[in-house]
Chains A and B, each alone.
Chain A
Amino acid sequence: MKAEQQYIDLFTQYETLIRNHSSEVLNKYRASAFADFERLGFPSIKHEDYKYTDVAQAFAPDYGINLNRIDVPVNPYDVFRCDVPNLNTALYFIVNDSFCDKVKPDVTLPEGVYAGGLKAFSEQNPAIAERYYGKAASGGKDGIIALNTMLAQDGFVIYVPEGVVVEKPVQLVNIFRSDVDTMANRRILVIMEPHSQAKLLVCDHSIDDVKFLATEVFEIFAGENACFDLYDLEESNRSTTRFASFHVKQEASSNVLVNGITLNNGLTRNNYYIELNGEYAEATLCGMSILDAEQQVDIYSHITHAAPNCTCNELVKNVLNDRSVGAFSGRILVKEGAQKTVAYQTNRNLLITREARMYGKPQLEIYADDVKCSHGMTTGRLDENALFYLQSRGIPKEEAHMMLSVAFTADIVENVRLDGLKERLHHLVGKRFRGELAQCVGCHGCQ
């Protein structure tokens, strides 16, 4: 219980302080989350689902947490110049774990739509916040979620009322900026009322070279017929560790796309929990990571089909270079009675070097008979015939290698339903394979 102790002590000592700088709705869950955390602790590597990620080790260092909500002297617009050309978004910032409300984006969202800080939202609309906050992500089973729930003081909310379509994509930039090792507990709540539509682009950046640790909990509620896209782009740095969990609850005929792309990171663990609770709901889960040096990405997904006639499509691709480590564990659970389910799960991995490691585990658990479910997993290197063909056409080996690698990841980028972002991602992926992105500090290299 070593790694846990400092967080237990911290909470016991500063509970009042944490509470004072947060809202009623968030505070309501703290005590039970603390009890859960004390009971569960961090999942150990003996735990089947955490075999390849040593959570306790990641949480063991002494990180500073900005419990007092001291303003970080940073103007995100100055620091963050890396915009996406041809993509006009409503731009919001979270610095470490505080929502940055000093600068407001210069856009008007449709009436009734709320995009902004979680603390402020839960104070203004306690009834709505209470209905959703903490309802999808339960700390009862996962110590990291419990820790996030017990410490998170603020976060980001998108609330889209019934029937409203938000044309303009909302962009949230998570920035790590600090002179000392820092931990941030971020909380993102997405509430899509029936028949609403929105798109959210979340970008993670780390500005400084000190150690950063983030726990991020996303709760996404898609009402009947709602349509929501989440693009999660991680471009942090080698000294950033991130534990994210995405909890999606979908009602009938809703359509949710989650696309998680890791271009630059230290250690990342992404947990995706998607529940299809209403008929004809459709979920698409894409993931891609391009790793080198000692980077590690561990993706875990659990998609539950609880209602008939639902569709899910999961596609995860990893490119592993140097001594990087990739892990994928995906489970599709088809509950009894969820007939006419269509579920596809694919995991493809490209190993570039001898030292790179890939651990794959796609799983199907099916309790209904009238279903079409399949999964596929491949791990290997680039096809020698294809490489030879390109070379025989006069393309140098390195270039051929790059072309095929880019092609390998292309279908993840193709799944992006925002043209400007798609274009930008193609560009970034190309740069990443050329090794240009890896050298950049902060965002200055991405220009």
Chain B
Amino acid sequence: MQDSNKIIDEVTSSDYKYGFVTNIDTETIHRGLDEEIVRIISAKKNEPEWLLEFRLKAYRHWLTMDMPDWPHLTIPPINYQDIIYYAAPKKKEGPKNLDEVDTELLKTFDKLGIPLQEQKHLVGMAVDAVMDSVSVKTTFKDVLAEKGIIFSSFSEAVQHHPDLVRKYMGSVVSYRDNFFAALNSAVFSDGSFVYIPKGVRCPMELSTYFRINAKNTGQFERTLIVADDESYVSYLEGCTAPMRDENQLHAAIVEIIAKEQAEVKYSTVQNWYPGDKEGKGGIYNFVTKRGLCKGQGSKISWTQVETGSAITWKYPSCILAGDDSTGEFYSVAVTNNHQQADTGTKMIHLGKNTRSRIVSKGISSGFSQNSYRGLVKVSPRAEGARNHSQCDSLLLSSTCGAHTFPYADIQNETAIIEHEATTSKISEEQLFYCNQRGIPTEEAIGLIVNGYAKEVMNKLPMEFAVEAQKLLSISLEGSVG
């Protein structure tokens, strides 16, 4: 056990490698939140009247709400008047091509290993990069446009495809949904918009990188993905932030609509700054993600690798409204030092013969608290619903916590719902077995942790799987991996 203790010590000593700050001119507005701020943001984005109305309605509704206190999290009070709700890299005009994009900005994304330059198309990934509050650059737009796919920043979509945005925005996550959804709806600044037309299979992975750079700001982006009948898209999301002593708020909304026979795969590698070893600083990641399987036979799959953020509070969910639709949720959540996570999913079965599958793997170490919270709801009309949930927790220190809170509301007797969960540390037998086969303890732990997370990792697209594997090693095992 001596060896494994050493390794676990290394875990706590590994560093956050995306913690740099980019020196770039940033345009911000003053701190605080009132109707005026909402109007300023809307004006800056040159938004149509209906969108401003939507924001104002959301803001007024937000004022009537209180921050919920049911999660298994200790959240210090947040002063919503002390946040800057809009920050953007300064630009003269919108960049026409890459040469006009600020070189500092390009360097930032280079450092993050994000293929912004189109000549890197070998990587075969279309990227939308969002820095602080605005989308910086979207690549491969033209290739996608040929197929009729719209992949652009949210504000561009508002300008160029207002009908689509107006039709779908808020249809899955209403501004009344929860405290942070209301806040986001009032002050969201940018994000990504994807529309896949009927019968089109998106030829490449679409990807957005989110980066918080400016100080004292909050990031509030919105992603809206609409997959029309019989279309397919795989979408990736990555996020990083500089190391700062203060806590920064990130409250995003992701909405997905999958129509008949459409399939959407949404993968996240969340690596916001988690705070230092004493738990100082870090991002509060309070996100509402929800997909609506609207059409018959549609499918939405969430895959997430959560390693960052001081506090993570999110439940990527599926509303299985269409008959024969499928929802999936695969998650690896790693918490270390003083991180806290309360994450999971909701599977709401409304249509007939709907299926859902939940695989959640929690790994906690240091002084962290890691909770799985999930709901499986079968409505009276959801004939033949099927769910299987599996939640495992791995404990790497005696001071951390791992918790499981699954909810099952079953209102139809034809449903078959199964939930299983285990919590344990790496078993001494497994370690011993590896040892006696000549595998040193250090490697054995790496092997076991990787094997433990593999079921989820396998669901990630290739490019992400590599990154996620690396992340897992960094945030958890130091050199092991």
Q: Is the interface of A mostly helix, strand, loop or mixed?
A: strand
Q: How far is the CA of A371 from the CA of B402 in the complex (A)?
A: 11
Q: Does A17 contact B (CB under 8 A)?
A: no
Q: In chain B between 421 and 442, which residues have their CB closer than 8 angstroms to a CB of chain A? A: 421-425
Per-position binary interface string of chain B over residues 398-420, scored 1 when its CB falls under 8 Å from any chain A CB and 0 otherwise:
11111111111111111111111
List residues of chain A with CB within 8 A of the CB of B410. Answer: 349, 351, 357-360, 379
Q: Does B148 contact A (CB under 8 A)?
A: no
Q: How far is the CA of A357 from the CA of B418 in the complex (A)?
A: 16
| Pairwise interchain contact B413-A378, C-beta atoms closer than 8 A | no
| Pairwise interchain contact A369-B397, C-beta atoms closer than 8 A | yes
**Contacts A361-B407, A363-B406, A365-B403; is A380 near B423 (CB within 8 Å)?**
no
Per-position binary interface string of chain B over residues 93-117, scored 1 when its CB falls under 8 Å from any chain A CB and 0 otherwise:
0000000000000000000000000
Q: How far is the CA of A374 from the CA of B423 in the complex (A)?
A: 6
Per-position binary interface string of chain B over residues 430-456, scored 1 when its CB falls under 8 Å from any chain A CB and 0 otherwise:
000000000000000000000000000
Give the shortest distance, in Å, between B106 (CB) and chain A (any CB): 45
Give the shortest distance, in Å, between A332 (CB) and chain B (any CB): 9
**Contacts A351-B415, A369-B396; is A364 near B404 (CB within 8 Å)?**
yes
Question: Is the interface on chain A under 10, 10 to 19, 20 to 34, or 35 or more residues?
Answer: 35 or more
Per-position binary interface string of chain B over residues 356-400, scored 1 when its CB falls under 8 Å from any chain A CB and 0 otherwise:
000000000000000000000000100000000000010111111
Q: How far is the CA of A136 from the CA of B406 in the complex (A)?
A: 28
- Please tell me the number of chain B residues within 8 Å of chain A, measured between CB atoms: 35
Q: Does B70 contact A (CB under 8 A)?
A: yes
**Contacts A366-B393, A366-B403, A369-B400; is A359 near B421 (CB within 8 Å)?**
no
Q: Does A48 contact B (CB under 8 A)?
A: yes
Q: How far is the CA of A369 from the CA of B418 in the complex (A)?
A: 26
Specify which of A48, A349, A374, A379 is in contact with B421 (CB 8 Å cutoff).
A374
List residues of chain B with CB within 8 A of the CB of A424. Answer: none
List residues of chain B with CB within 8 A of the CB of A378. Answer: 416-419
Q: How far is the CA of A370 from the CA of B4 in the complex (A)?
A: 13
List residues of chain B with CB within 8 A of the CB of A375. Answer: 404, 419-421
| Pairwise interchain contact B393-A380, C-beta atoms closer than 8 A | no
| Pairwise interchain contact A377-B419, C-beta atoms closer than 8 A | yes
Q: How far is the CA of A369 from the CA of B398 in the complex (A)?
A: 5
Q: How far is the CA of A358 from the CA of B380 in the complex (A)?
A: 12
| Pairwise interchain contact B413-A352, C-beta atoms closer than 8 A | yes
Q: Does A354 contact B (CB under 8 A)?
A: yes
List residues of chain B with CB within 8 A of the CB of A377. Answer: 406, 408, 417-420
Q: How far is the CA of A445 from the CA of B473 in the complex (A)?
A: 67
| Pairwise interchain contact A351-B419, C-beta atoms closer than 8 A | no
List residues of chain A with CB within 8 A of the CB of B380. Answer: 354
Q: How far is the CA of A351 from the CA of B395 in the complex (A)?
A: 35
Q: In chain A between 335 and 350, which residues have their CB closer than 8 angstroms to a CB of chain B? A: 336-337, 339, 349
**Contacts A336-B398, A374-B420; is A354 near B408 (CB within 8 Å)?**
no
List residues of chain B with CB within 8 A of the CB of A339. Answer: 398
Give the shortest distance, in Å, between A289 (CB) and chain B (any CB): 16
List residues of chain B with CB within 8 A of the CB of A368. Answer: 395, 398
| Pairwise interchain contact A366-B402, C-beta atoms closer than 8 A | yes
Q: How far is the CA of A379 from the CA of B420 in the complex (A)?
A: 12
Q: In chain A between 359 and 393, which residues have their CB closer than 8 angstroms to a CB of chain B? A: 359-381
Chain B interfacial positions (CB closer than 8 Å to A): 70, 72, 380, 393, 395-425
Chain A interfacial positions (CB closer than 8 Å to B): 48, 336-337, 339, 349, 351-354, 356-381
Query: 17 A-B residue contacts at CB 8 Å?
Result: A336-B399, A339-B398, A358-B408, A360-B407, A363-B403, A363-B406, A364-B403, A364-B421, A366-B395, A368-B398, A369-B398, A370-B425, A371-B395, A371-B423, A375-B421, A379-B410, A381-B413
